[in-house]
Amino acid sequence: MSSGMPQTEVNAIVACTISRDVQNFDLLIEDMEAVMGESWGDLGFNEALAFFNQSEAEALEFVALALDSGDEDNLPLMGTIITEAKTRNIKVILIAEDVTPAALHNLLRQGADEFIPYPLPEGELQAAIERLRLAEAERTAEPQHVLKTGSQRDGAVIVCHGLAGGSGSTTLAVNLAWELAQLSTSETPRVCLLDFDLQYGSVATYLDLPRREVVMEMLSDTENLDEDVFGQALVTYEDKLQVLTAPVDMIPLEFITPEDIERVVTLARSHFDFVVIDMPHTLVQWSETILNMAHVYFSMVELDMRSAQNALRLKRALQSEDLPFEKLRFALNRAPKFTDLSGKSRVKRMAESLGISIDLQLPDGGKQVAQSSDHGNPLASSAAKNPLRKEILKLAQSLHDLGQSDAAAA
């Protein structure tokens, strides 16, 4: 250990900076002193690995791994430090200056919990530490859904993908998942809702659920994904529905690989009868994975030019790659009323011009839909007689009945 590590027993060392030379990060020193007082020390890269094996390391709450452009040649060593810290349940905060995005991406995927650019924004170190402590409190205090090891269910995957902003994919995903959960007679939840809109996901908002830090931890290390890890990441809504919210912070969509997504969905399918997925609007590298795993893939459109153009672009993209375009079920949100003959004619012309079939038409639910979402309630709870809710209930009933008949046939 370097001389920067206090040797007194008066103050237990609960945090450490780890760097090539901490004097290169003078603002970090100031912030650590302000936040941690005398309860922190400093280690070099190689010293850190040796210290992790000592009994004193058991008291560590977190380490701040500080690096700059001169450390990029030592990324394997940085990764080893992060891995060793995580195996000992020590949180890792990355402090980086002039480091390439690829290097940061690599280190975050290896398990770093937080990233702060250097020079540190005012108060950001304190905020990062509080987020880590909150996540740990959630992990230990909140009841988690216990998933039975070795479960071999074969749940149906239902995907909701909006082809334009505001087309209602999250509204459909949330309310369809809740209606399916309500139809279940099992005492344990049989429906799981996955929010894969990793940047702007609103499922947590629509159900007034907390976003959990552990979600990011799970997605960062799916190779070690098991029932316990997945159960910790889920939150329960009204004891009937299990939800994987989007991460607390925005992350690049390419941060998650197709293999990550396949592991999560496969595990969810093995434990739930229905897995409902809310997708980002854009196509990503794992969109093909979801499409191939989906049993029903709802593509949400509206009766406007942008939806028509985006539907045509999607059709061309899938067909050019020989992907299963036929899996898509186009759903028209805010569809014209039965008596609106002009609107019905427009729907027919739109479908014919695009060469698609519009399989589901959802009525306009009006202001009640936005109000329900803002208050964190499904339509079934806040506006049971809403025409949109009634149509989603019919859809849920048909999917539930189909699932029951398939189970009976099996």
Percent of the chain with pLDDT strictly greater than 70: 92
Which of 147-156, 167-176, 263-272, 323-332 shows the lowest mean pLDDT across its residues? 147-156
How does 146-168 read in b/e, with b if 16+ C-beta sit within 10 Å? ebeeeeeeebbbbbbbbbbeebb
Taking residue 321's Cβ as centre, other Cβ atoms within 10 Å add up to 9
Best CA proximity match to 331, nearest among 306, 307, 365: 307
Confidence check: pLDDT of 53 > 80 = yes
Closest listed residue to residue 146, CA positions, set 184, 108, 188, 183: 188
The predicted pLDDT at position 139 comes to 62
Residues contacting 284, CB < 8 A, separation 6+:
253, 254
* In contact, 338 and 305? CB cutoff 8 Å: no
pLDDT at 144 (0 to 100): 54
Would you call 362 helix, strand, or coil by DSSP?
A: strand
- What is the 8-class DSSP label of residue 326? G
Q: What SS3 state is found at 36?
A: helix
Q: How far apart are CA 89 and CA 60, in angstroms?
A: 9
315 has a pLDDT exceeding 90: yes
Q: What is the mean pLDDT of residues 124-139?
A: 83
Tell me which of 5 and 202 has the higher pLDDT: 202
Give pLDDT, residue 140.
Answer: 58
- How many other C-beta atoms are found inside a 10 Å radius of the C-beta of residue 396? 23
Report the distance separating Cα 234 and Cα 228, nearest Å: 10
The lowest-confidence range among 88-92, 145-149, 245-249 is 145-149
pLDDT, one tens digit per residue, over 242-267 is 999 999 888 887 888 999 999 999 99
* Residues sharing a CB contact under 8 Å with residue 209, sequence separation 6 or more, in sequence order: 203, 235, 237, 243, 245, 376
CB 382 within 8 A of CB 372: yes
Q: Are 161 and 249 in contact (CB under 8 A)?
A: no
% pLDDT > 90, the chain: 62
Query: What separation in angstroms does the CA of 15 have from each of 18, 40, 115?
Result: 10, 5, 16
Mean pLDDT calculated for residue range 36-53: 90
H or E element: which one contains 104?
helix 101-109
Per the model's pLDDT, the better-predicted residue between 338 and 258 turns out to be: 258
Give me the amino acid identity at 133.
R
Residue position matching structure tokens 């149906």:
156
Q: What is the pTM of this model?
A: 0.69
Q: State mean pLDDT over 128-149.
A: 70
Q: Quick one: average pLDDT of 367-388?
A: 93
Structure-token pair, residue 279: 């997708």
- CB 354, CB 312: distance < 8 Å: yes
pLDDT, tens only, 185-205: 877 789 999 999 999 999 999
